[in-house]
Each structure stands twice: as structure tokens, then as C-alpha cells.
């Protein structure tokens, strides 16, 4: 019968300094130990370093204890050694880790501010599901606070549903994604334009110039809520623009307001090798120059018919509606050589539902309820670059890349 292996968990805490890890492993290298897990976290200069080791034969605990305590004293750190046992073949997490039926998950929590009660509620729900929090990392502290929890032993769909309720109750955003290489494999992001990439609805801006703002805004809202057929509603609204001078389109384009964080999001993703696309129920004459300015790779939008320097009140076929946006996502992915599982789709209205469902990660950004309910995750903060946190990219990494280029 195989004898259980002895395990030792060595934990060092205190003020961080260079060389702690290498010196600890220098001590441990004197003994016949195998390293099965290691975690190191530094928060505001305070270090927590944990090393889980195991050995088949009973170790010389006195010698190990003496060596680790002497090292800790020399470095001004506190040390703790906990012994235990594990069955042969058990993983780093012991029996629980070896038998856990589910893989690792990333749980991302955003708040502005992020209150302790919200973190407690998220952690409590994770514990109630029978899962374990293995690590917590801060991704951002300004202008929103974002933390990421690495969770093991949870069923993704159930945990996502449970945490969606916590998010509503606590006024935070919570995303649940599979861990490992899945998230790092994302290579194409496709975004809606109106009320996503930009803060405006282009057709409402045009309607204001044509003197029919209230009528058009009412139809736009119903269409975004999914209450009207988008293509029919678009033609109805564009008809009200008949006779508008084409120069007004240029004026509207010049006055567009990007969503805060849009430039940072696109610039960062491009640095990382992503392809970026935009799809819009709006109009090419407004969208294409914006895409060129931002360095966006792919564009799909509607085309306004013009004659004698004026809008005719007609939109040209094919109309980019819900199905058109979904097909554009697929087309962009084929062009980029990226499977749909490695795409991210971001939108706010009902005509974004198709592409959000088709993408590997669907994000509802300050979206209508019907979109929030259907998306993988919802962001309700006014900063588009918070999407980076869902991809595991920290604010510090973004700022470091910005500094390196200047």
C-alpha cells in the first residue's frame, strides 16, 4: 500500500524586497522536496509568498523549520510552516483539487466605487456554490476599481446566473469566463457604433438638423428595445431626412463624441495584435472616416442615398440590421482567419443580439435590458476600455505600454 506523501506549506509575509523567492528556494533545495504549487502576491509593498511542497519520505522537519525561520529573520519576514498529507497522485490542491469536476474560472468584478459589501456578497456566493477562490488580483483602481478572482470547482453557467443576481443587488458588474488559454486566444473585437463606440445616435443628430428630432428619437428607442423591426424602422426614420443637405453629414461627423476609453481600448488591442471591426445601423459616410482615424480594420454600415447634394430619404440595400451585423462579424472573422470562438462582440441594442450570441464573448455595454439578459457579461460603467479587464489586461499594463511608446 502506498504511503501518503507529506506536504509542507511554507508561507512568508512582510515587506517585499528583491531576492526573496530565490533565497527561499535556495533553502528548500537542500531537502528532497517537490514543488507542487506556488502563489505570490504583492499589495502595496506587502508580500505574501506561499509554496506547497511534498515528499515521499518523512522530511527532516526540524532542519527545514530551522532553515526557513533563519531566512525569514534575515529578511525581516514572518514565516509559517504547516504540515499535512496527500494521497499519491493528488494534485496541488489535495483531494479537492484532484476530484474537482470543473475547471478554472475568472470572475471579474467592477465597481465605482467597489464596496466591501459587494466583494463579500460575491465571495459568499462563490463559497455557497461549493467553489474555491484561489487568487484575487487587482486590475484597476481608477476611474473604476476592478478585481479578478481565480475560482476553481464551479460550474460556469450556474455561477454566472448566481453572480448576475449579486451584481444587480450590489450595483456592480460581474463577469464569469473560462480560465486558462481560452481568454488569451481572443483575437478579434467587433463593436457597435452608436451609444457604444460613440456617445451619440447618428440618426438622431441628423434628425435634429432636419427638424424631426423627437419623432425620430421615439422610433429609435423602440427599435433598440426590440419592439420594432429594425430595417423597417430605419427606412421610416431616414425618410424623414429627405432634402437634408449633404454638408450636414460632414458637420455631424465632425461633432461626434467618442465614448471615454475608446481610443485607449483600440490602441491597446492593436498593440496586442487584435483586429478591430465596427458594425453599425448608422451610415458609412459618417462611420468610415471615424474608422480610418482610429485605425479600425473592418467596417460595415448602411449607405444613405444622395442626389444633387441632398439626402433622398432612402437607405441603400443591403440594410445592416441584426442579421447584417451577425454576418459582418462572421465575415470579419473569416477575413482575419479567426474562429468565432476567438471573437468579442460589444453592443447595446436589440440589433446587436445576433452578433453577441455568435461571438466567443458577448458584452452588453450600457445596454438595454433585453441585451443585458442575453450577453455573457454586462458593463454598466461609462468607460469602454473596461473591456480590457475582461481580457485580463490590467490598467498598469496599459499605462506601461502607453509610457513605453512616448
Active site residues: 192, 194
Q: At what angle do helices 247-254 and 284-294 cross, to 10 degrees?
A: 40
**In degrees rounded to 5, what are phi and psi of residue 346?**
-130, 130
Strands 78-86 and 5-15, by their bridges, are: antiparallel
Q: Enter the C-alpha cell of residue 306.
A: 444622395
Q: Which residues pair with 133 in a beta bridge?
A: 151
Q: Enter the C-alpha cell of residue 271.
A: 498593440
**In degrees rounded to 5, what are phi and psi of residue 139?**
-100, -25
SS (H, E, C) the chain: CCCCEEEEEEEEEEECCCCHHHHHHHHHCCCCCEEEEEEEEEECCEEEEEEEEEECCCCCHHHHHHHHHHHHHHHCCEEEEEEEEECCCCECCHHHHHHCCCCCEEEEEEECCCCHHHHHHHHHHHHHCCCEEEEEEEEECCCCEEEEEEEECCCHHHHHHHHHHHHHHHCCEEEEEECCHHHHCCCEEEEECECCCECCCHHHHHHHHHCCHHHHHHHHHHHHCCCCCHHHHHHHHHHCCCCCECHHHHHHHHCCCECCCHHHHHHHHHHCCCEEEEEEEEEHHHHHHHHHHHCCCEEEEECEEEECCEEEEEECCCCCCHHHHHHHHHHHHHHHCCCHHHEEEEECCHHHHHHHHHCCEEEEECCCHHHHHHCCEEECCCCHHHHHHHCCCCHHHHHHHHHHHC
CB 55 within 8 A of CB 30: no
Amino acid at each position: 500500500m502506498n504511503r501518503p506523501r507529506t506536504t509542507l506549506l511554507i508561507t512568508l509575509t512582510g515587506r517585499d524586497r528583491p531576492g526573496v523567492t530565490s533565497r527561499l528556494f535556495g533553502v528548500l533545495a537542500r531537502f528532497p522536496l517537490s514543488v507542487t504549487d506556488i502563489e505570490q502576491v504583492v499589495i502595496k509593498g506587502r508580500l505574501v509568498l506561499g509554496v506547497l511542497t511534498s515528499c515521499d519520505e518523512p522530511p527532516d522537519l526540524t532542519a527545514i523549520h530551522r532553515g526557513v525561520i533563519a531566512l525569514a529573520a534575515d529578511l525581516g519576514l514572518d514565516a509559517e510552516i504547516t504540515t499535512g498529507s496527500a494521497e499519491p497522485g493528488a494534485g496541488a490542491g489535495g483531494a479537492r483539487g484532484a476530484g474537482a469536476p470543473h475547471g478554472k474560472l475568472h470572475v471579474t468584478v467592477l465597481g465605482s466605487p467597489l464596496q466591501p459589501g459587494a466583494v463579500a456578497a460575491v465571495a459568499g456566493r462563490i463559497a455557497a456554490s461549493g467553489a474555491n477562490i484561489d487568487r484575487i488580483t487587482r486590475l484597476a483602481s481608477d476611474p473604476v476599481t476592478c478585481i479578478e478572482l481565480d475560482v476553481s470547482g464551479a460550474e460556469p453557467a450556474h455561477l454566472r446566473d448566481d453572480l448576475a443576481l449579486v451584481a444587480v443587488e450590489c450595483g456592480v458588474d460581474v463577469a464569469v469566463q473560462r480560465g486558462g488559454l481560452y481568454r488569451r486566444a481572443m483575437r478579434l473585437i467587433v463593436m457597435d457604433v452608436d451609444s457604444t463606440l460613440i456617445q451619440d445616435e447618428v440618426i438622431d443628430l441628423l434628425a435634429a438638423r432636419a427638424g424631426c428630432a423627437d419623432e425620430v428619437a421615439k422610433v429609435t428607442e423602440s427599435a433598440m428595445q426590440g419592439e420594432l423591426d429594425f430595417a423597417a424602422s430605419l427606412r421610416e426614420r431616414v425618410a424623414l431626412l429627405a432634402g437634408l443637405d449633404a454638408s450636414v453629414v460632414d458637420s455631424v461627423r465632425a461633432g461626434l463624441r467618442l465614448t471615454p476609453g475608446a481610443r485607449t481600448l483600440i490602441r491597446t488591442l492593436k498593440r496586442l495584435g487584435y483586429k478591430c471591426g465596427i458594425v453599425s445601423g448608422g451610415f458609412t459616410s459618417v462611420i468610415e472616416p471615424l474608422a480610418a482615424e482610429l485605425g479600425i480594420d473592418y467596417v460595415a454600415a448602411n449607405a444613405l442615398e444622395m442626389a444633387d447634394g441632398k439626402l433622398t430619404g432612402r437607405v441603400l440595400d443591403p440594410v445592416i440590421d441584426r442579421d447584417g451585423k451577425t454576418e459582418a462579424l462572421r465575415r470579419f472573422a473569416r477575413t482575419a482567419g479567426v474562429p468565432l470562438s476567438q471573437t468579442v462582440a460589444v453592443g447595446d441594442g436589440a440589433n446587436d443580439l445576433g452578433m453577441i450570441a455568435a461571438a466567443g464573448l458577448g458584452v452588453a455595454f450600457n445596454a438595454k435590458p433585453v441585451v443585458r439578459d442575453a450577453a455573457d457579461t454586462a458593463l454598466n460603467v461609462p468607460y469602454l476600455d473596461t473591456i480590457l479587464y475582461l481580457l485580463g489586461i490590467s490598467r498598469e499594463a496599459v499605462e506601461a505600454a502607453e509610457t513605453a511608446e512616448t
